[in-house]
């Protein structure tokens, strides 16, 4: 066991996989000698050499396409998109190429690629660094979308993502990179993709969330508990595929639910969750399932993050709205 930050756990996951499987390659902008702009790939080039861990020219589409080519040629690329706001430069490689490779070749070729990328608000980045674009990804058939909320999950999920034989988008919330430490086992362990985690048990209302909003929701749940409200908090961990078994079991127990997300309200995973809960558990609901989410504007100017991003107060208000419905 080691007491690690999330960024250290992510670094450790790549180290474990680079050592285990010679087909694993790590590349992206500044991931080599520099060790990544957040140190996610620190020392990996030193340990594994320039053939395994290397820098690319500054062109996301170029390295996205290169990853697809390496994937069909038997390698397992772990690619870093420096900030997920830059995904638009390589969305063709990701969504129309990697995601479709197995399908369009009838299974002949595959894209066992992990696209790692930081995202997330609360750290006052410049434009297009923090946007939550996972909604665009979950509606793309052929990819899995994973968002860890803590160091332990980050390592286990990233190892699973690298071993997965299909493309995985692995989104790392910047605010969580170094905000707390956790005991993380040394060596290899996996957490299955597509499995949510009940991070706090409760019986009155279900809070479904992911990423940095897990911490916000847990704080809200503690506050609510002081007033006798027992909220169950579910950390999705994987946004595609969704763990509907865990979600529905919880909703059937609590009969009330809210979804807390950092992404804007329209579209997104909350809309999909509400649709599925309505389809599969409407008779168990005492109130509509509500969304706690930012307004449908462009991601805020840094100085407006605090008034834009959902906070503990917003989550408590959301819970109260479904309780008092």
Footprint on this chain of another protein (rule: CB under 8 A): 25, 51, 56-57, 59, 61-75, 77, 92-93, 96-97, 102-110, 141-142, 144, 164-166, 194, 240-242, 244-245
Q: Is 204 a catalytic residue?
A: no
Rounded Cα distance between 303 and 295, Å, is 16
Q: Output the CA–CA distances (angstroms, integers) from residue 110 to 8, 26, 94, 97, 158, in the order listed.
A: 30, 18, 13, 10, 19
Residue 153: helix, strand or coil by DSSP?
A: helix
Please report how close the Cβ of residue 50 comes to another protein at its closest, in angstroms.
10
Omega before 241 cis (within 30°)? yes
Residue 323: helix, strand or coil by DSSP?
A: helix
Helix count and strand count (H, E) for the chain: 12, 14
Please report how close the Cβ of residue 54 comes to another protein at its closest, in angstroms.
8
Please report how close the Cβ of residue 107 comes to another protein at its closest, in angstroms.
5
Helices (H), ranges, the chain = 6-20, 44-48, 60-72, 91, 101-104, 134-138, 151-163, 213-226, 244-254, 268-281, 305-308, 312-323
Asked if 35 and 42 touch (Cβ cutoff 8 Å), the reply is yes
Nearer to another protein, 64 or 148 (CB): 64
Nearer to another protein, 166 or 262 (CB): 166
Please report how close the Cβ of residue 69 comes to another protein at its closest, in angstroms.
2
Nearer to another protein, 126 or 241 (CB): 241
Q: Which residue is listed with tokens 């690619």? A: 79
Nearer to another protein, 166 or 172 (CB): 166
Asked if 303 and 205 touch (Cβ cutoff 8 Å), the reply is no
Residue 182 sits at φ, ψ, to 5 deg, of -150, 155
Please report how close the Cβ of residue 74 comes to another protein at its closest, in angstroms.
6
Residues paired with residue 233 on neighbouring β-strands, in sequence order: 200, 207
Rounded Cα distance between 87 and 83, Å, is 8
Return the biggest CA–CA distance within the chain.
60
Rounded Cα distance between 66 and 60, Å, is 10
Nearer to another protein, 171 or 218 (CB): 171
Selecting among 129, 173, 204, 284, the annotated active-site residue is 129
Please report how close the Cβ of residue 25 comes to another protein at its closest, in angstroms.
8
Nearer to another protein, 142 or 151 (CB): 142
Residues annotated as catalytic are 129
């Amino acid at each position: 066991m080691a007491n690690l930050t999330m960024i250290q756990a992510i670094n450790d996951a790549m180290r474990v996989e680079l050592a285990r499987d010679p087909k694993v390659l790590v590349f992206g902008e500044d991931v080599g000698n520099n060790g990544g702009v957040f140190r996610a790939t620190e020392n990996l080039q030193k340990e594994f050499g320039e053939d395994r861990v290397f820098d690319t020219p500054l062109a996301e589409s170029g390295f996205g396409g290169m990853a697809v080519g390496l994937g069909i040629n038997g390698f397992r690329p772990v690619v870093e998109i420096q900030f997920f706001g830059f995904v638009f430069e390589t969305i063709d490689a990701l969504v129309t190429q990697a995601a479709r490779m197995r399908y369009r070749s009838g299974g002949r070729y595959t894209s066992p690629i992990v696209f790692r990328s930081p995202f997330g608000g609360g750290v006052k980045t410049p434009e297009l660094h923090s946007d939550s674009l996972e909604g665009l990804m979950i509606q793309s058939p052929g990819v899995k979308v994973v968002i860890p909320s803590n160091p332990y999950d980050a390592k286990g999920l990233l190892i699973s993502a690298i071993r997965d034989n299909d493309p995985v988008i692995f989104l790392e919330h910047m605010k969580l990179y170094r905000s707390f430490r956790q005991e993380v086992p040394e060596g290899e362990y996996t957490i299955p993709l597509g499995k949510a985690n009940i991070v706090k048990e409760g019986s009155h209302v279900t809070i479904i969330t992911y990423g940095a909003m897990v911490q916000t929701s847990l704080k809200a749940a503690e506050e609510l508990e002081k007033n006798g409200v027992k909220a169950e908090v579910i950390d999705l961990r994987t946004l595609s595929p969704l763990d509907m078994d865990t979600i529905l079991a919880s909703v059937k127990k609590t009969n009330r639910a809210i979804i807390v997300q950092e992404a804007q309200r329209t579209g997104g995973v909350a809309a999909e969750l509400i649709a599925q809960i309505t389809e599969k558990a409407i008779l168990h609901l005492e109130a509509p399932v509500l969304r706690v989410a930012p307004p449908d504007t462009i991601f805020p100017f840094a100085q407006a993050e605090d008034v834009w991003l959902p906070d503990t107060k917003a989550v408590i208000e959301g819970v109260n709205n479904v309780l008092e419905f």
